[in-house]
């Protein structure tokens, strides 16, 4: 036994360290792909990016049903108000601007303008659309799914209202990117648009969407993203309070610069204000440097630039606007267009007149299911019940492979491997107590085992309690409840548990932060069990004995997936206490899991391994799939009031 070295137990700090590690790992010069290598790996990275947006299974595009809702005009521009369908009966709103002196069919370059966080985007950002029309471009400016009279929402997760979006695989960013793709379709349907000369820009939330859209859709030839792209290695420790539309779910633990490379060889301009309270100069300069290094390896370094300027969040002087104008003249129009003072337009009479600019006037088309966009973009898992063991084996093998590749693929993505050492061995009358310290990726774990000194225990119950529980009480409670059965108990205090547990009031923030680095707190527990299991199996008082797995609350979810992903012939049964009936009704979130399995499916997939549920939430209806799977395969799915009764039923029924 060596001297104990303290390790970090705080989940927030772990995320911050992990984000830095990801950035350093992905941006080592020798890791950056050359053009030939990038050509081979780009399709896989693009697929991962779309999955991180929740758009890897986009529904088939429907008819836009573009509907003109009125026209208006002003000095140097003419415009029409448009409604369009994202999906059947999901309506969005937009304005389409043209130079006043050009016929409708005259071909022009075009700009797609993505709105930031104004109450009505097409109203609040109108002066930018006027700017492009006066400069000889066409411009489509469109509302986000939650702006104007649109009934959608992209603030649900950062408000803490929709934790289930994480399990669904839905992202606010992805919902807005889908909206942007359909808005781009709408722009390209308009007369007088040169389809080969289209760019995208926006600020704040619109800045993030312009960046994501350019990476997702190569019909866009250039992007100027303003004050809207955040790197996890800065965002997590700095805690700026961004809206969730600023972030992807970093499902594959990638540095953002890798996804920036999806824009290359097209043109990427980062624009940031030096005194922006939401971004630091260190952050945006690092993001630009990383992105430019990738563009340089692809021989297009000149197509990735940074425009930084004095001032707070937003545009604040003409020089910034002129830089953006020159960027699009060069990379989209291919020729210089007249200069216009964009900021002066904002002060003109009539600009931003809500009554004139409103698309729906409070009454969008009906029916309108835009508020259901998260569900419509997030296919839920389905699993066929077994007709026999052979069919079930095939179904189970396929399901586990999918979970391994799509949900738990980061189980081995650690910088510091698992280690464990015993630091205590005590005896008291007829009972022993042994203790081990573990460490995974620099975070502390603790294990405590209690059992009879005469070695008479025939089985071991390995348990993971609730996040705030300590290892010894977990083991002690199981030991007390399971007697007089000849069982020893081993309690696990995983990373971020016990004394290192966080307040549940922070759960929403830590779920979101975990999404930035690929591991939510609950997914971390599954990872702990994965790495601890070989160590546990090698313990002298565990080796060769039957094993009961036990989990409570969040620990029950983690233990369920551990049992499922790591089938072990020594596991006699699984006992789960306070298991929620659905991933959609719990704050204990695992990214994208609902696309591939639900808790009732996971319970069913354990069949024929016996399962006992203690105080399960929901009715039998919510476990009907699992009940039928176990019945068809001769397994056991029981309900009990405590572990002792559970073992009794498992042994006798």
DSSP for 490-534? EEEE-TT-GGGPPPGGGHHHHHHHHHHHT--HHHHHHHHHHHHHH
Q: 């942007």: which residue's tokens?
A: 180
Question: In CATH terms, is domain 394-652 a member of 3.40.50.1820?
Answer: yes
Q: 């709103």: which residue's tokens?
A: 93
Nearest to 610 by CA among 592, 584, 571, 637: 637
Q: 653 pLDDT exceeds 80?
A: no
Tell me which DSSP letter residue 336 carries: -
Question: Does residue 186 contact residue 83 with C-beta atoms inside 8 Å?
Answer: no
Q: 7 pLDDT exceeds 90?
A: no
Model confidence pLDDT, tens digit, residues 295-317: 999 999 999 999 999 999 998 78
Model confidence pLDDT, tens digit, residues 87-142: 999 999 999 999 999 999 999 999 999 999 998 999 999 999 999 999 999 999 99
Calculate mean pLDDT across residues 536-557. Answer: 96
Q: Where are the domains of the chain?
A: 67-376, 394-652
Question: Does residue 77 contact residue 97 with C-beta atoms inside 8 Å?
Answer: yes
Question: Does residue 511 contact residue 520 with C-beta atoms inside 8 Å?
Answer: yes
Beta carbons within 8 Å of 371's beta carbon, 6+ residues apart: 151, 152, 153
Question: How many other CB atoms are there within 10 angstroms of residue 111's CB atom?
Answer: 31
CATH class name, domain 67-376: alpha beta
Which percentage of the chain shows pLDDT scores above 70? 98
Question: Does residue 208 contact residue 173 with C-beta atoms inside 8 Å?
Answer: yes
Confidence of residue 3 (pLDDT cuts 50, 70, 90): very low
Q: What is the mean pLDDT of the chain?
A: 94
Instruction: Provide the token pair at 209.
Output: 């969407």
Q: To which H or E segment does residue 642 belong? A: none
Confidence of residue 338 (pLDDT cuts 50, 70, 90): very high
Q: 635 pLDDT exceeds 80?
A: yes
- Please name the residue ranges forming H helices in 569-623: 599-605
Give, rounded to a whole angstrom, the gap between the first and last alpha carbons of the chain.
Answer: 45
State how far the Cα of 26 lies from the Cα of 518, in Å rounded to an integer. 14
Instruction: Provide the token pair at 533.
Output: 């299991």
Instruction: Write the secondary structure of 156-199 as one string of H (helix), E (strand) and C (coil).
Output: HHHHCCCCHHHHHCCCHHHHHHHHHHHHHHHHHHCCCEEEEEEE
Nearest to 494 by CA among 472, 464, 517, 518: 464
Q: 424 pLDDT exceeds 90?
A: yes
Instruction: Provide the token pair at 174.
Output: 């992805």
Model confidence pLDDT, tens digit, residues 501-513: 999 999 999 999 9
Three-class SS state of 68: strand
pLDDT at 617: 78
| Residues forming a β-bridge with 198 | 110
Q: Do domains 67-376 and 394-652 have the same CATH topology?
A: yes
pLDDT at 5: 54
Strand order of the sheet with strand 90-99?
Answer: 67-74, 77-87, 90-99, 138-142, 108-114, 193-203, 222-226, 267-273, 304-309
State how far the Cα of 431 lies from the Cα of 420, in Å rounded to an integer. 23
For 88-106, give the DSSP string: TTEEEEEEEEEETTS-TTS
Which percentage of the chain shows pLDDT scores above 90? 90
Question: Does residue 506 contact residue 453 with C-beta atoms inside 8 Å?
Answer: no
CA–CA distance from 187 to each of 136, 141, 196, 327, 573 (Å)? Answer: 16, 9, 12, 20, 58
Q: 618 pLDDT exceeds 90?
A: no
Sign of the torsion angle spanned by Cα atoms 152, 154, 157, 163: positive
Calculate mean pLDDT across residues 171-188. Answer: 98
Q: 475 pLDDT exceeds 70?
A: yes
Q: 627 pLDDT exceeds 80?
A: yes
State how far the Cα of 412 lies from the Cα of 410, in Å rounded to an integer. 5
pLDDT at 265: 98
pLDDT at 389: 87
Instruction: Provide the token pair at 598.
Output: 């639900």
Q: 174 pLDDT exceeds 60?
A: yes
pLDDT at 4: 46
Q: 6 pLDDT exceeds 60?
A: no
């Amino acid at each position: 036994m060596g001297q104990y070295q303290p390790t970090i137990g705080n989940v927030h700090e772990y995320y911050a360290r992990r984000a830095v590690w990801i950035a350093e790992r992905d941006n080592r010069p020798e890791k950056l792909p050359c053009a030939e290598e990038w050509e081979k790996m780009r399709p896989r990275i693009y697929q991962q990016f779309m999955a991180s947006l929740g758009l890897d299974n986009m529904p088939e595009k429907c008819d836009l049903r573009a509907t003109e809702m009125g026209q208006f005009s002003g000095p140097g521009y003419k415009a029409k108000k448009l409604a369009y369908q994202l999906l059947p009966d999901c309506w969005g709103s937009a304005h389409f601007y043209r130079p006043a002196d050009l016929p409708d069919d005259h071909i022009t370059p075009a700009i797609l303008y993505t709105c930031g966080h104004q109450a009505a985007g097409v109203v609040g950002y109108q002066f930018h659309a006027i700017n492009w029309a006066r400069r000889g471009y066409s411009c489509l400016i469109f509302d986000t799914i939650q702006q104007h009279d649109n009934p959608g929402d992209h603030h649900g997760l950062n408000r803490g209202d929709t934790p289930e979006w994480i399990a669904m695989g839905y992202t606010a960013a992805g919902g807005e990117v889908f909206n942007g793709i359909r808005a781009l379709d709408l722009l390209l349907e308009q007369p007088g648009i040169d389809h080969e000369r289209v760019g995208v820009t926006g600020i704040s939330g619109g800045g993030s969407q312009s960046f994501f859209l350019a990476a997702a859709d190569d019909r866009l030839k250039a992007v100027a993203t303003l004050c809207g792209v955040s790197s996890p290695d800065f965002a997590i420790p700095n805690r700026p309070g961004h809206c969730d539309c600023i972030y992807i779910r970093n499902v594959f633990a990638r540095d953002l610069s890798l996804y920036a490379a999806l824009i290359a060889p097209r043109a990427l301009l980062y624009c940031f204000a030096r005194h922006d309270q939401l971004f630091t100069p260190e952050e945006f300069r690092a993001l630009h440097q990383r992105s430019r290094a990738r563009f340089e390896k692809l021989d297009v370094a000149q197509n990735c630039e940074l425009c930084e300027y004095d001032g707070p969040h937003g545009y604040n002087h003409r020089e910034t606007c002129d830089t953006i104008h020159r960027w699009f003249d060069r990379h989209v129009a291919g020729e210089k267009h007249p200069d216009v003072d964009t900021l002066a337009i904002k002060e003109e009479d009539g600009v931003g007149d809500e009554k004139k600019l409103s698309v729906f006037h409070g009454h969008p088309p009906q029916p309108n299911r835009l508020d259901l966009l998260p569900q419509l973009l997030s296919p839920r898992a389905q699993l066929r019940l077994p007709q026999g063991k052979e069919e079930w084996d095939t179904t189970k093998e396929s399901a586990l492979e999918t979970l391994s590749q799509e949900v738990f693929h980061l189980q081995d993505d650690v910088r510091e491997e698992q280690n464990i050492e015993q630091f205590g061995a005590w005896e008291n009358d007829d009972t022993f107590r042994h203790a081990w310290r573990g460490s995974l990726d620099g975070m502390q774990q603790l294990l405590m085992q209690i059992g009879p000194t005469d070695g008479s225990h025939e089985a071991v119950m390995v348990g993971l309690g609730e996040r705030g529980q300590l290892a010894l009480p977990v083991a002690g409670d199981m030991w007390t409840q399971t007697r007089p059965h000849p069982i020893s108990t081993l309690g696990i205090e995983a990373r971020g548990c016990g004394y290192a547990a966080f307040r549940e009031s922070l759960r929403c923030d830590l779920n979101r932060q975990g999404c930035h680095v690929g591991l939510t707190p609950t997914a971390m527990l599954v990872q702990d069990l994965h790495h601890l299991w070989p160590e546990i199996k090698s313990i002298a008082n565990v080796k060769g004995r039957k094993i009961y797995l036990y989990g409570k609350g969040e620990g029950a979810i983690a233990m369920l997936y551990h049992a499922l992903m790591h089938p072990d012939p020594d596991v006699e049964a699984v006992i789960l206490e306070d298991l929620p009936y659905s991933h959609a009704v719990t704050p204990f979130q695992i990214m994208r899991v609902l696309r591939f399995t639900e808790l009732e499916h996971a319970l069913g997939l354990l069949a024929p391994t016996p399962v006992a549920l203690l105080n399960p939430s929901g009715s039998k209806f919510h476990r009907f799939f699992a009940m039928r799977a176990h019945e068809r395969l001769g397994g056991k799915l029981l309900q009990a009031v405590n572990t002792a009764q559970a073992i009794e039923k498992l042994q006798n029924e």
